[in-house]
Amino acid sequence: MENYLLSAIVLIPIIAAILIMLMPEKEVLGPRVMATSAALLTVALSVVAYVLYDPSNARNYEVNIPWIEGLGMQYHVAADGVSVAMLLLTSITIFTGCLISWEIKERHKEFFALLLILVAGVFGVFIAFDLFLFLVFYELAVLPMYLLIGIWGTGRREYSAMKLTLYLMLGSALLILPIFGLYVQAHAATGVWSMDYDFLSSNFRLDEHWQSIFFPMVFIGFGTIGGLWPVHTWSPDGHASAPSAVSMLHAGVLMKLGGYGIIRIGLQFMPDGAQDWAFFFACLTVVNIVYGSLSAMRQTDMKYIIAYSSVSHLGLVTLGICTLSVAGINGAVYQMFAHGIMTALLFALVGVVYGRLHTRDIREMGGLAKIIPFTATAFVFAGMTGLGLPGLSGFVSEVLVLTGAFSAGVIGMPSPLLKYVALICLTGVVFTAIYVLRAMQKMFFGEPTEALITSKYYITLRDTDIREKLALGVLMAVIVLAGAYPAWLVNLINSGLAHGVFPVLGLSGF
């Protein structure tokens, strides 16, 4: 029974999507309730998956059924600590995302159905232990984004949607060659056609030459979705044009597929390639962190600020991976979780403010804290998480990743120069403080601007209702839970990595 837990988490959103599509066109409440309750169900199941998780077991809730026997592909799903953490992140994000997008009116049936299909793909990626199944879920998660932004987006939505889709498709195209190269070479070596993750990792090792060809492809391929500079340019446009729930899911969860894939596939199958390339990519992530935060300082559109801050914060994920150290990789996964929840909260808040004021320009706001205090509090809370206030989740990941970077070289990996890279990254923390405080100050404090007072939406401005408070409250609670007592999450992640990439890299967990 327990073993069907993961399949249920993937199937529930798909079934809900089909049911929503079958509802009559006039039905207004049905799709919302259906989507939200399906999402709530996945939250419950993810919590169950966390509670029943056995850290000593490398593959919890494993199901392995042959799928395409002739080609050695199977429906192999399981969960380790990293998967469980990501399942929690995804389900919480989709649940709060559904709550926030309650008010979508135009073509709402299709909206919720696509959102659920997308999230089914994301769930699938996190539990797939067959490389082919992984790819199937991965692309399933990418494509609905085109329609979600194209139909329900704002601004230059068609341009952004196309740019995003093409970038992500190009990214996933880069993955096909390494994954199938691995598949074909494993067949040549073992005589067995198999895409099974565990079969490949235990019975075959790519030779070093191929590893150092494939690793950068995997890194850039996943880096594209993970916001790696310079292939991140789709992300600010995409986030700015997307509706709130889509931005939440996208920045909160979808971009985490990048870091997850690099760890799951890149480090696992190309550890030697990783050693060769780690320093190079660490240098790129510096650009991510510093350039991302500098760009965020220059923006006036709230969504662009958060989008660039995501680019900056996600640099911490890739930097953590590039340290190839226990603390660094743990920190990277922790940051994936922490940033996911934080950015979901921020985009939800932007949605709340934009839905009321119909502007996202921070120069046209001011003094909002008096009128919408709950929103302002939540915003400040999220901002503090972003700039790494101790006690909140952002702090933990920064500490972990930077510890990893400084410890690199000490244990011989990958380069002593990484310390200096990490030092430059620290400046990013300062810039983050600047743009976060600047945005807060302009939006919520001081006196209302002329533009705001003359806006026709100003008079009817009211604070969040109970539904929005629930969504924001859940996200804030998770941030506190992960920040004030990080041990539960770090232990969870560490137990997964200790069975997975740490042995491959010659490390032992905490």
Partner 1 sequence: MSNELISSLHHIVVTPEFILLLAGIIVLIVDAFDGDRRPWLAPCLSLIAFLLAALLMIGFPESHGRIFFQAYTHDTLADIMNVLFLASGVMTVLSGWNYISRWAGESGTFYGLVVLAVMGMMLMVSASELLTLFVAVETTTIALYILSGYFKREKWSAEAGIKFVILGTVFSVILLFGMVLVYGATGTTVFTEMVSGAAKSPFPGSQIVFFGGMILILAGLIFKITAVPFHFWAPDAYTGAPTPVTAFLSVASKASGFGVLIRLFYGSFNEVPGLQSFLIVLLVALAGATMIVGNLMAIPQKNIKRLLAYSSIAQAGYMMIGLSAFSEIGMSSILFYLAQYVFATFGIFVVCIIVYNHDQSDDLTAYEGLSKRSPFVALVLLVCLLSLAGIPPLAGFIGKVYLFTAGLDKGHYLLVTIGILTSVVSVYYYLLILKRAYIEKGHRQDVLTVPHAERLALWIAMAGVILLGLLPGLVVDRVQMTGEFILGLIK
Residues that bind partner 1 (CB under 8 A): 67-71, 132, 135-137, 139-140, 143, 146-147, 150-151, 158, 161-162, 165-166, 169-170, 173, 176-177, 180-181, 183-184, 187-188
CB of 38 to partner 1, least distance (A): 20
State whether residue 314 is helix, strand or coil: helix
- How much is the CA Rg of the chain, to the nearest whole Å? 22
Structure tokens that stand for 462 in this block: 């009211």
**Closer CB to partner 1, 16 or 452, in the complex:** 16
| Distance (Å, whole) CA 79 – CA 62 | 7
Find how far residue 289's CA is from the centre of its chain.
16
All residues at 6 or more sequence positions from 169 whose CB lies less than 8 Å from its CB, including other chains: 142
**Closer CB to partner 1, 138 or 291, in the complex:** 138
- How many residues belong to the chain? 510
CB of 114 to partner 1, least distance (A): 10
CB of 45 to partner 1, least distance (A): 22
CB of 159 to partner 1, least distance (A): 11
CB of 317 to partner 1, least distance (A): 25
**Closer CB to partner 1, 180 or 406, in the complex:** 180
Structure tokens that stand for 380 in this block: 């400040």
Structure tokens that stand for 63 in this block: 């199901």
Under 8 Å between Cβ of 249 and 91: no
| Distance (Å, whole) CA 339 – CA 183 | 33
**Closer CB to partner 1, 69 or 105, in the complex:** 69
| Distance (Å, whole) CA 133 – CA 296 | 37
Residue 11 to residues 147, 248, 262, 470: CA-CA distances in angstroms? 21, 22, 26, 26
State whether residue 128 is helix, strand or coil: strand
- Orientation of helix 393-407 relative to helix 466-484, angle to 10°: 30
CB of 203 to partner 1, least distance (A): 18
CB of 29 to partner 1, least distance (A): 21
CB of 149 to partner 1, least distance (A): 9
Structure tokens that stand for 306 in this block: 């958060």
**Closer CB to partner 1, 81 or 150, in the complex:** 150
CB of 274 to partner 1, least distance (A): 21
CB of 180 to partner 1, least distance (A): 5
Supply the DSSP string of 21-80, one letter for each residue.
HHS-TT-SHHHHHHHHHHHHHHHHHHHHHHHT--TT-SSEEEEEEEEEGGGTEEEEEEE-
Query: Which residue in 112, 228, 131, 147 sits closest to 180, CA to CA?
Result: 131
| b/e per residue 198-235 (b: at least 16 CB within 10 A) | bbbbeebbbeeebbbebbbbbbbbbbbbbbbbebbebb
CB of 17 to partner 1, least distance (A): 13
State whether residue 389 is helix, strand or coil: coil
Query: Which residue in 382, 322, 385, 391 sits closest to 353, CA to CA?
Result: 382
Q: What are phi and psi of 304, to 5 degrees?
A: -65, -40
**Closer CB to partner 1, 181 or 503, in the complex:** 181
CB count in 10 Å sphere of residue 55: 16
**Closer CB to partner 1, 9 or 142, in the complex:** 142
CB of 13 to partner 1, least distance (A): 14
**Closer CB to partner 1, 147 or 387, in the complex:** 147
**Closer CB to partner 1, 113 or 440, in the complex:** 113
CB of 224 to partner 1, least distance (A): 12
**Closer CB to partner 1, 71 or 192, in the complex:** 71
**Closer CB to partner 1, 120 or 342, in the complex:** 120
| Distance (Å, whole) CA 45 – CA 43 | 5
Question: What is the end-to-end Cα distance of the chain in Å, rounded?
Answer: 32
List of E strands, 364-458: none
**Closer CB to partner 1, 164 or 338, in the complex:** 164
**Closer CB to partner 1, 80 or 130, in the complex:** 130
